[in-house]
Amino acid sequence: MCFALLACDLDGFQNINDNYGHLAGNEMLKRVALVLQENCRGTDYIARMGGDEFVVLLAGTAPDELEDRMRQLDRMVRVASREICGEEKGGISIGTACFPDDGNEAETLLAHADNDMYRAKRARKAGVVVQLPRPAQVA
């Protein structure tokens, strides 16, 4: 069990704004916030960091729970994208950091998760299937 921080960034969000309009982009942000909220427990916390980035804090999460939750969030964001745009135009890239393995200060954990999220985003853009979280970091 660990305290996990997830740094989340929408994939294709700029494309949604550019091709479907800002109203569709705003609807996508609302839907993602709802997806995150509906998939959290009473002990979890969600925050929008700005733009299309969110942070999720998960207390007492086992590594296998974390991996399943991340996959579920990505699936649900893709469904929301299809519903809003009529086709799949987005997903979510997620980076992780676990206390205390990846740091013991909020800034350190956020930086670690943010770097991990950007690594996942780059890999997705390159067409590489990313398997997150990396078990060595979460265990």
9: annotated active-site residue: no
- Give the CA distances from residue 123 to residues 108, 119, 128, in Å, rounded to whole numbers and listed in that order: 23, 6, 5
42 vs 14: CA distance, rounded Å? 32
Q: Which of 9, 11, 44, 52 is catalytic?
A: 52
- Report which of 40, 19, 16, 38 is spatially closest to residue 28, judged by C-alpha positions: 16
Catalytic residues: 52
